A and B are shown apart, each in its own frame.
Chain A
């Protein structure tokens, strides 16, 4: 347990202090939201109808950012070999990394999104659901991302490869997340979409660490 906590804090600290970490992810998310009206025009009605999807697409892209550093550096400088030797199972190492990644990307995005909502004229009654959906969905994104990041440890400059591996797998999150927000905005019942979103997220939280640990274990020579 102490090893888990130590690893968790180490990753949090790295994510917060390094230039490519939490701040970058949040800034990237905000930038996508700010740039879309410039591309689509300022019509509030159009922006309002597009907002649920845009927020979720931005979340999908912004959570991609920290993934490459999640295990890549550890693999390069040999820390990963120490993880393999340590009594802490690799699955738990991955869980610590997923938690650290989520706290510095998904959670921040979930807090940031309602603040950015006026920029896209998202209706106020959808704000709680927007925050909730991101809160429930982004752990799944971090988890699937961890599996892909672990697979990518053998890839040189794997950033783009990671995106191609992760994005198709994240389709359910986009669909359920955006649908929940859209339902809340149009006065419908978002609970079904939220439940499916949470289910996808929980499923990913099981599959992600197992796959990531298997990938890290298999890459040892």
Chain B
């Protein structure tokens, strides 16, 4: 990891990996969606509406996973002052925010026919909604401070405080209300889901992960270029003529 503390080396690797990850992500998503929409059997209770799960559940996983990635890279930035860790955390936030929004919107679309309401204040929906606002706060903080190194330092601490709080918030919301169905994939004794449904679900999860990497690389390259532009501009302003 330290070898890629050199932005030059990182950029070379990122440039080479971007088309592959993007291509693989899109292909996996296409296969996953095909399996989910045409191959997987309809749910015996929920019918075809259950298919929205293949988009919804992995998005919710990603929402949390990307927040963890953000917190870990913030910790790396905090401890080792790794120059690209802040960039990775910053680049992750909007991607995670979009996955969170996707999870919320698909959850609402599924809730309308299933629960008869667009929104139900159940524990998991509420936790994800609050996670969405945590992402927003993080993005806003980056935007509110002009100078990138200062913004990076503040954002690190916010991400870490947020990461400490996420389990507490989740617990409090869980305690507050439990209306949702229990977990069906991750539980002792193996998943309570038929393989025909599990395969498309995991394919979609994999597709999301690969797409995350692809977008992350693109955004990180953007961010590095932006910082270079800024340095060049500041240099020009400092030495006119």
Residues of A within 8 A of B (CB): 144, 147-148, 151-152, 154-156, 158, 161, 164-165, 167-169, 171-172, 175-176, 179, 196, 200, 203, 207, 211, 214-215, 218-219
Q: How far is the CB of B122 from chain A (nearest CB, A)?
A: 14
Cα-based distance from A219 to B154 in the complex (angstroms): 8
Segment at the interface with A among B15-23, B43-51, B139-147, B209-217: B139-147
A155 touches B157 (CB 8 A): no
Q: Look across to chain A and name the residue whose beta carbon is closest to the beta carbon of B161.
A: A211
User: Is B168 positioned at the interface, with any CB of A under 8 Å from its CB?
Assistant: yes
Known contacts: A154-B151, A164-B133, A207-B161. The answer to whether A172 contacts B168 by CB under 8 A is: yes
B157 touches A207 (CB 8 A): no
User: Chain B contacts of A147 at CB under 8 A?
Assistant: 157, 161
Known contacts: A154-B151, A169-B161. The answer to whether A176 contacts B144 by CB under 8 A is: no
A154 touches B154 (CB 8 A): yes
User: Chain B contacts of A219 at CB under 8 A?
Assistant: 150, 153-154
Query: What are 23 A-B pairs with beta-carbon distances under 8 A?
Result: A144-B161, A148-B158, A151-B157, A152-B144, A154-B147, A164-B133, A164-B140, A165-B141, A168-B133, A169-B161, A171-B130, A171-B169, A172-B165, A172-B168, A200-B168, A200-B172, A207-B165, A211-B161, A215-B157, A218-B153, A218-B156, A219-B150, A219-B153
User: Chain A contacts of B154 at CB under 8 A?
Assistant: 151-152, 154, 215, 218-219
Q: How far is the CB of A215 from chain B (nearest CB, A)?
A: 5
Q: How far is the CB of A1 from chain B (nearest CB, A)?
A: 28
A175 touches B173 (CB 8 A): yes
Q: Look across to chain A and name the residue whose beta carbon is closest to the beta carbon of B151.
A: A154
User: Chain A contacts of B150 at CB under 8 A?
Assistant: 154, 219
Total interface residues on B, CB under 8 Å, equals 29
User: Is B164 positioned at the interface, with any CB of A under 8 Å from its CB?
Assistant: yes
A168 touches B130 (CB 8 A): yes
Known contacts: A168-B137, A169-B162. The answer to whether A203 contacts B168 by CB under 8 A is: yes
User: Chain B contacts of A175 at CB under 8 A?
Assistant: 172-173, 175-176
Cα-based distance from A176 to B176 in the complex (angstroms): 8
User: Chain A contacts of B160 at CB under 8 A?
Assistant: 211
User: Is B66 positioned at the interface, with any CB of A under 8 Å from its CB?
Assistant: no
Q: How far is the CB of B125 from chain A (nearest CB, A)?
A: 14
Can you add 12 more A-B contacts, CB < 8 Å, to A168-B133, A218-B156, A219-B154? A147-B157, A152-B154, A164-B133, A164-B136, A164-B140, A165-B140, A165-B141, A169-B134, A175-B175, A176-B172, A200-B168, A211-B161
Cα-based distance from A151 to B156 in the complex (angstroms): 10
A-B interface, 7 closest residue pairs, ranked by CB to CB distance from nearest: A172-B172, A218-B153, A168-B133, A155-B144, A175-B172, A165-B137, A151-B154
User: Chain A contacts of B144 at CB under 8 A?
Assistant: 152, 155-156, 158, 161
Q: Look across to chain A and name the residue whose beta carbon is closest to the beta carbon of B156.
A: A218
Q: How far is the CB of B73 from chain A (nearest CB, A)?
A: 16
Cα-based distance from A168 to B215 in the complex (angstroms): 27
A179 touches B130 (CB 8 A): no
Q: How far is the CB of A185 from chain B (nearest CB, A)?
A: 17
A154 touches B145 (CB 8 A): yes
- Encoded as 1 (CB less than 8 Å from any A CB) or 0, chain B from 111 to 141 comes to 0000000000000000000100110110011
Cα-based distance from A154 to B144 in the complex (angstroms): 8
Cα-based distance from A187 to B47 in the complex (angstroms): 44
Q: How far is the CB of B171 from chain A (nearest CB, A)?
A: 8
